[in-house]
């Protein structure tokens, strides 16, 4: 497979404080006592993708990630670790390492080191080549957040908080992406869109169209385009709000699209031309989707937007959207779009295809991009997705390291993990939780729906529910934590009770 693979491993993500720190960047956060980045690397290794570029934000974080990769994957993978400045975004990180990108095709695992899944990248590559697409994005069913029972997890980042999904428009074959609004820009629209989809037979067309307009963040269309778009939108475009952009993309080289220097990718050309693009998901992908029926990626239209001619660009957007939806039911709607007005073809326009690969619902796919997701994925990898853990489970459906020591009448339930060298006192109870290596846990301790990292000391009589305890934390006797995160090295005083708090050193 002649793909060049780039994994964006992030740095010290603000969304994951206090779990991340200078000592533990995002890529090294533990999932079932393994760095989350290991799940991406082993997925690629299993698919014979062994020449990788791992991009890390910050020099110190890059050194730590590089050191771990060198020791864990010696003689297994050829990995080049590239450091980029912090907070440059996914697009900025790829722009910074552009001189490394040389292959004809590039399979970019834009996962910030945080994709945990069992979908083979080769399936995405096959779809990409089959359609001769300019970009192919992998979509998965949006994961359901929250613990398996009434107890919550993740502190202030609870399951009650609405998820950040995408609104995606697909052609009837579910192979081409016709529309996307991603991330925070649709957070308010997701609830409305779902209710519309549930009752689509009772909702008037104008309301449905208005939802699409609000997602596009443009003013409502006016005749003559409104009627065309409305009719074909109802009939031909499938709107989905239940799919997650997995941040795994394949990009085509630019030779057939931009007529520039061979061996450069479409992605590189866009990043060079659009210096203000910060995110692949929120900038690059929507740009490619919007422009797929325009000549040469609508460079003229893009220039108009940059020059402030927003009205003309907006009108062009509406025309192209109406054309996309009007022809989406045709198997060759991209070819139709390449024609001139009224199907006349004296000067055919060059089009490109934005494709999707939708993973089967039986596959596991999640991204560790929030504290809630950290808790969810740890729970899943020792539960329903245990095949990803790489461990052998006991007859009791748990993992207790042979060197771990359990006191009298201590129970470790199903879907639990107790790491190497850890010790538990008498009459303790652990349910649906991950405990790290070399922890010292006293007597009469209860741990439920929680993640406890390495070298944690927990005193007698403590109760920990729905919480994340980072490495080298000390909980003194009779501490009660519910829905909390405790940063590395923090000491919680005896008898303290906290709910929904984030505790960390100043």
CA-to-CA dists, residue 416 to 56, 201, 384, 387, 400, angstroms: 31, 45, 12, 14, 8
Q: Which of 176-180, 196-200, 398-402, 449-453 has the lowest mean pLDDT?
A: 196-200
For the segment 368-382, what is each residue's pLDDT rounded down to a tens digit? Answer: 999 999 999 999 999
pLDDT tens column, 13-46: 888 999 999 899 999 999 999 999 999 999 999 9
Work out the pLDDT band at 396, boundaries 50, 70, 90.
very high
pLDDT averaged over the chain?
A: 78
For the segment 59-65, the average pLDDT, to the nearest whole number, is 95
Asked if pLDDT for residue 103 goes beyond 60, the answer is no
- Phi first, then psi, for residue 208 (nearest 5°) are -65, -45
Q: How high is the pLDDT of residue 371?
A: 95
Cα-based angle 136, 139, 142 (whole degrees, multiple of 5) = 165
User: pLDDT grade, residue 345 (50/70/90)?
Assistant: very low
pLDDT at 242: 87
Neighbours of 331 (CB within 10 A): 12
Residue of 462, 502, 269, 274 whose CA lies nearest to 371: 502
Rounded mean pLDDT, 396-425 = 97
Please give the residue that has the higher pLDDT: either 279 or 266. 279
User: Which comes out higher in pLDDT, residue 83 or 303?
Assistant: 83
225, 326 in Cβ contact below 8 A? no
What is the C-alpha to C-alpha distance for residues 347 and 339, in angstroms, rounded to an integer? 8
Burial class (CB in 10 A: 0-12, 13-18, 19+), 78: exposed
Helix (H, G, I), strand (E, B) or coil at 329: coil
Residue with tokens 């697009």: 91
235-273, pLDDT tens digit by residue? Answer: 567 888 889 889 999 888 654 443 334 456 677 778 888
Average pLDDT estimate for 52-73: 95
85 secondary structure, DSSP code? -
* Residue 158 pLDDT exceeds 70: no
pTM: 0.80
Each residue's pLDDT tens digit, 171-224 = 888 998 888 876 555 444 433 334 333 433 333 344 445 545 554 444 444 444
Phi, psi of 164 (to 5 degrees): -95, 95
- Output the pLDDT for position 215: 46
Q: Is the pLDDT of residue 416 over 60?
A: yes
Question: What is the structure's pLDDT at 298?
Answer: 43
DSSP string, 180-204: EE-GGGGTTHHHHHHHHHHTGGGS-
Q: What is the mean pLDDT of residues 438-465?
A: 98
| Omega prior to 224 cis, within 30 of 0 | yes
Do residues 105 and 3 lie in contact, with contact meaning Cβ atoms separated by under 8 Å?
yes
The conformation of residue 261, written as its DSSP 8-state character, comes to -
At 463, the pLDDT band (50, 70, 90 cuts) reads: very high
pLDDT-wise least confident of 43-52, 75-84, 165-174? 165-174
Give the pLDDT score at 179: 83
182 backbone dihedrals φ, ψ, rounded to 5°: -120, 150
Which of 217-231, 271-285, 331-345, 385-399 tops mean pLDDT? 385-399
Average pLDDT score over residue span 69-93: 92
Nearest Cα to Cα of residue 145 among 342, 359, 368, 409: 368
Cβ within 8 Å of residue 453, ≥6 positions away: 30, 436, 468, 469, 470, 471, 473, 488
**Res 272: pLDDT:** 84
H helices, E strands: number in the chain: 14, 33
pLDDT at 112: 64
């Amino acid at each position: 497979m002649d793909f060049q693979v780039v994994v964006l491993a992030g740095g010290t993500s603000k969304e994951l404080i206090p779990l991340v720190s200078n000592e533990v960047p995002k890529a090294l956060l533990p999932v079932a006592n393994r760095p989350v980045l290991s799940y991406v690397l082993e997925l690629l290794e299993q698919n014979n993708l062994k020449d990788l570029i791992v991009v890390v934000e910050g020099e110190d974080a890059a050194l730590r990630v590089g050191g771990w990769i060198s020791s864990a994957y010696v003689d297994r993978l050829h990995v080049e670790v590239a450091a980029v400045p912090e907070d440059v975004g996914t697009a900025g990180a790829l722009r910074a390492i552009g001189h490394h990108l040389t292959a004809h095709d590039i399979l970019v695992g834009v996962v910030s080191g945080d994709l945990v899944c069992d979908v083979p990248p080769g399936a995405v590559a096959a779809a990409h080549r089959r359609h001769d697409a300019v970009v192919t994005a992998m979509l998965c069913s949006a994961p359901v957040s929250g613990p398996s029972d009434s107890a919550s997890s993740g502190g202030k980042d609870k399951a009650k908080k609405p998820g950040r999904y995408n609104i995606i428009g697909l052609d009837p074959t579910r192979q081409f992406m016709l529309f996307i609004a991603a991330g925070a820009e649709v957070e308010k629209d997701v609830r409305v869109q779902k209710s519309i989809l549930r009752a689509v037979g009772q909702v008037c067309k104008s309301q449905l169209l208005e939802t699409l307009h609000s997602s596009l963040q443009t003013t409502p269309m006016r005749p003559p385009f409104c009627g065309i778009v409305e009719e074909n939108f109802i009939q031909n475009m499938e709107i989905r709000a239940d799919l997650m952009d997995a941040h795994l993309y394949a990009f085509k080289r630019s030779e057939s699209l931009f007529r520039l220097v061979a061996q450069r990718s479409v992605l590189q050309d866009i990043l060079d031309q659009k210096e203000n693009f910060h995110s692949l998901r929120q900038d690059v992908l929507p740009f490619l989707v919007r422009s797929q029926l325009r000549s040469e990626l609508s460079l003229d239209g893009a220039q108009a937007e940059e020059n402030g001619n927003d009205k003309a660009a907006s009108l062009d957007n509406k025309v192209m959207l109406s054309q996309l939806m009007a022809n989406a039911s045709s198997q060759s709607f991209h070819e139709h779009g390449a024609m001139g007005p009224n199907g006349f073809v004296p000067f055919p326009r060059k089009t490109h295809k934005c494709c999707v690969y939708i993973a089967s619902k039986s596959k596991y796919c999640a991204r560790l991009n929030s504290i809630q997701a950290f808790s969810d994925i740890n729970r899943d990898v020792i539960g329903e997705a245990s095949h990803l853990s790489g461990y052998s489970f006991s007859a009791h459906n748990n993992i207790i390291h042979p060197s771990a020591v359990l006191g009298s009448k201590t129970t470790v339930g199903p879907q639990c993990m107790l790491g190497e060298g850890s010790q538990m006192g008498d009459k303790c109870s652990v349910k649906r939780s991950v405990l790290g290596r070399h922890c010292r846990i006293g007597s009469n301790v209860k741990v439920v729906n929680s993640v406890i990292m390495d070298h944690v000391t927990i005193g007698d009589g403590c109760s920990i529910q729905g919480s994340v305890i980072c490495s080298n934390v000390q909980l003194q006797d009779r501490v009660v934590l519910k829905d909390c995160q405790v940063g590395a090295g923090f000491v919680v005083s005896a008898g303290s009770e906290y709910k929904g708090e984030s505790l960390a050193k100043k």
